[in-house]
Structure 1
Amino acid sequence: MIQRIELLQELQKSYAEKYNLSIIMTDDNGKIILDRVGNNPLFNWFYDNKREVLQEEFNRAKEKKVNTAPYLYDIWPGAYMIVAPFHGENGHIYLIWAGIVIVEGTEQLVNEQLQESVNINFIEMINNTPVITHEPNQPLMKRIKRLAHLATIYFKDHDKSDIYEIQKGLFRKVLEERSQLNTILEESLQNNLEFDFFGIAKKHSDDHYKVTEVFGHGVKSMRGMTFSHGEGLIGRPLITDKYEYWENVEKDPRSVSLSRYGLKPKSFFCYPLKRYQDSSTLLFGGSHSNSKMSTRCRELGKILGSILETGFLIEDLQKENQQQINRLTSMVEISKLMVSTHDFKRIVYILVDISLNLMEGPFTCVVLKEQHNDSVNLVSRGNPNGNLREYAKNVAERHFLNPVNTQQFEIITPKFEETPWGERTLECPLWNRGRIVGVLCVAINEQQAKLQEHVNFLQTLSVIGGVSLQIVEQEEEELDDKLVYSLFRAIKQFDQDVYSILEEAAKIAKEFAEMQGLPVPVINEITHSCLLSYYSSAFIQETLPETRLRTVIDEGNTLLNVNKGDSWESASISAQVFALAMAYVKDQSINKLEKVYDGRLIKDFKSFLYETQVLEEKVSIAETSVSIQEQVLDTVTSTIQELKLSPREQEVLDLVIQGYNNKEIAQQLYISGHTVKNHVTKIFQKLEVPDRAHAISKVYRLKHQSG
């Protein structure tokens, strides 16, 4: 634009000096865009002393019908300006004012008229003023017409180059500078005088679109407007699927849908923007004052739509890419957690919790096949609408009792099934080394978006889960010390009651040690100590001289019998866990120990006892009977309490891990769904995670590392 003005000034100066004129350029409303250039004495006197008279004439010029030919415009009796219209930037009409000229033979009349208003002799000025006649094809008129023609050509050529420059600039902003799309629209309004407003409408439902963003003046009331395909002007491009432009909109009855929201444009355009995965967005814009936009402006509207379409595509692909990264990151974190977990149950609980939160269905469960009998273990979360035991039988029959001759890939591929009460589920086999160790069963939320992506995620999760369960099985087999268990089974022959107590103590000690994240050798040491605590220290030392079992049992018994807390501080972690488990199974309480020592381990043990309240069911595959085995399921409440969260955020996170959705959490805590959403957002921020799967994975990881 600056270069364009400089060239016009050169043309203006050249013509003014050559033909003894003073020249001004205005728009068609009389606004001066290029100030006076030239030494025409009469014009300069008017300009310096009668500026308001000239400006009034400039303003009145728009009342005259504008055509392409120059014409004479009298600003004083006998004194004229040559006015030549030309097409300038954005197709606007501009005016060249060149003068003053006097009609031949009227010099004395002009002097007398001027002297009546001002007591000055204008003869000398008039003698130096160009003279014209009333004959057609005046040479001076032709020269000013030539000046207007040159200006039009220059603007026309530069309009074309401007379009390319604007297009390149917009592409650069989108591709290189990563400018926000609203910034591009706001800058486009500032740089183009014909557009008064822009807006963006996005798909709101299957049949309706909603105006989500508006830019410019006079369109704020449009925000939130909803419309359907084909409704009025704004809905028509959604049917035609192409750019649409309308002039004289105020006369079009289809504009009533716009006027209902306070928008009454004179010209209007819409551009449907194609987006990733067949979704659509609509760009619209227009002018409150121009009933007709210039060709250049309409072309710019199309370019703007094309650029925004590219920007939205990049934005959609980046979002999809980020979601893929989040899913992969989540899978990596979950995989690391499961592989590093040396407990069969905990891996199962991770599978249950993650899948329930991912699919947001009513329930999820894992059906585990026991190796040495015809029973399955059922671990579940959520609120099924029917009898899960019956469903577990069906799962077992499909996957364990009726093997088919299929390829391994077909066996591990998730399949959609249905519960006896008609609920749709996805069954993902947990497969490893030639056998199915279990089946992850997830109830489907039919409203869940991106279902197939979640299915792929669950398939990968189930494969990793199957491998992790197989590794744990092998570790447990390797850690099974035949001698320890032979000695333990011998106790049953002498004292059944003691045998039961020691078995329960070993079970509790093992689960608590795993919750503390202790190494497998230490967990094994604690478990074996509980099992063999019936025997004397001398016998254990003689029978198992290479182990620390005697030391652990002696230290643990000391902790049970002393009244000083400093003994706890110096004792090994194995002895402390041993003492806690033995005290609890004997007295069903650890109150005596609390009076002696109130350290963190005792508090963790109390939390562990309080939290183990989730039901496991053992279901016989046989049709005749179903046996239910009550077992404890470790939860993560104590770990949540250690996080830097508010009490309410801790409650919300606990329910999230249990598989509740936002609506269900709101009902549980008697708060609004909006409040739940805010709590969940803050939890993600504080835990530095992007979603629920990452949050659950992080809590389990912290739980695993807390020891």
Structure 2
Amino acid sequence: MMNIMKAIVDLIDTYSTNLGLPIRLINLAGEEKIVSSENSGTILMGDVRKILEIGRTSKEPHIVTLGEEGQMTNYIISSPIHSEESNGYFLVGGPFQKGIFHIKDEEKLTIVHKMELLTVTISILIRELDNDAYRERKAMIEKDFSSLSDEIDSVLNKTMCLNKLDFIGYAKKEQDHFSIQSTFGQRVDVLLNQTFFIGEGLLGQAVALGKQVYWNSTMKDRRAEFLNKYHLFPHHLICSPIEIDGEVTGLVFGGRFSETPISNEILYVQKRLSFFLAEREKVQMVLKNANRLTNNLQMLMDTLEIFVHSKDVKGLSNKVIHSYHRLSENSFVVFTLNGECTHRGLYDEHTFIAHQKFVKGSTEYTFHRSSERLVHQRIEWDNVRYGALTIKFPFDLTQEEKTALDFVCKLISIKYMLTNWKLQEPILVESNPDHEEIALYEIDKITDLHKVIEQLPITKREQEILDLILEGLNNQEVASYLNISSHTVKNHITNIYRKLNVTDRVQAMVKIYRIKYDM
């Protein structure tokens, strides 16, 4: 726990030095929990109440100006950082040493993005602090059940012998049914991998009731048909549901074929076993989530480092693809940027088709199929989509993981624009015989994209092809749309590049959008 707190303090100090701003971690009650060592300013008393109001409702970091005329002060306030052990926190940077109107837009954008990364990182670390309570609980459970610290099969076998049962089994919930995954004892191996629904037979009824049930005369009970059809006719049956957060996720069942009754002590041990298995599953879930959060934190750090030092977007995007392939437990990941598609993992046609539709403008964001979660994330800037990242997760994402995914895709978008938006001196483009010569700086005055294309010194057919390229179609798709050969399309594109003095479609696209937005 101390190591995590030190990491949070060091992060705040590092970002404070980097931004040249004092940074504070404040809880939602207004108490300052951590203040950066570079504390070159204090929050004015009159601003505290307004900062609290903004901090509780802020959706993303943004710069605000508070105070009265003549005493205006600028701060940057983060979105809330949620915590299960407290009411939550938020970050406050400032006051700024110079007025906000003297800070360039690029510098403001950098400050906001760095504050956003710091918020995400601290959120993950605070979540780790919350998990310490679960780890302490795990230690207590392992101490109480030190003899039951083996795998489930070993635990079941020991319990069967301890209780002198004839058989014992374990069923786990899978979507809308339960599957029997472990069995020990006389003749019950035939139940392995068999399934039952909630409410079906004695096992299903125990699940539906959500409490331990003991039947002492199942030989005459028609609800025992599920067992009877496998030639199992127990006289006594105990069913103990495994419940986590109000939901039955599993079932331990056992019994005797003889008429020897089952004592209250055995019922207690069986109930205690179901509780232990529930706690064991909770601990495994917490540790797994903690590991996921740690991996996400490392991925964010690595991605940011590559963002700062890489010269182009390719290295950054490759890192993201590789990271999410690993974070999604080696699931299928597909990424498209400016018409170029890359994928990693075992190919999945459904995921690939859904990704292509999303790239072309589908509004679908997530798709659930059995135990899979298909997540799409846009690569866009200024409402212009340049590509997308699609990942087939085998689990639901936490809010921190969703935020991290959104953040790294924003980094890709920023790196892409920084790489390609290189302002050039106005040049005179070679004209086509059917067109008058026109300087690109004259086209800069045009704001409508289609009008920009119409004014370019290229033929009507070349204008059609350029328009389709800007919509994201590749050469083959353009050829199919215009009913011409891909070779003809390639020739037209070569002419377009020559006339616009560019070398590829990325530069052509950037030049057109730069003209449109008067960049």
Interval of TM-score (by shorter of Structure 1 and Structure 2)? 0.3 to 0.5
Query: Structure 2 length as normaliser, TM-score?
Result: 0.45
Task: Say which structure is richer in helix.
Answer: 1
Query: Structure 1 length as normaliser, TM-score?
Result: 0.34
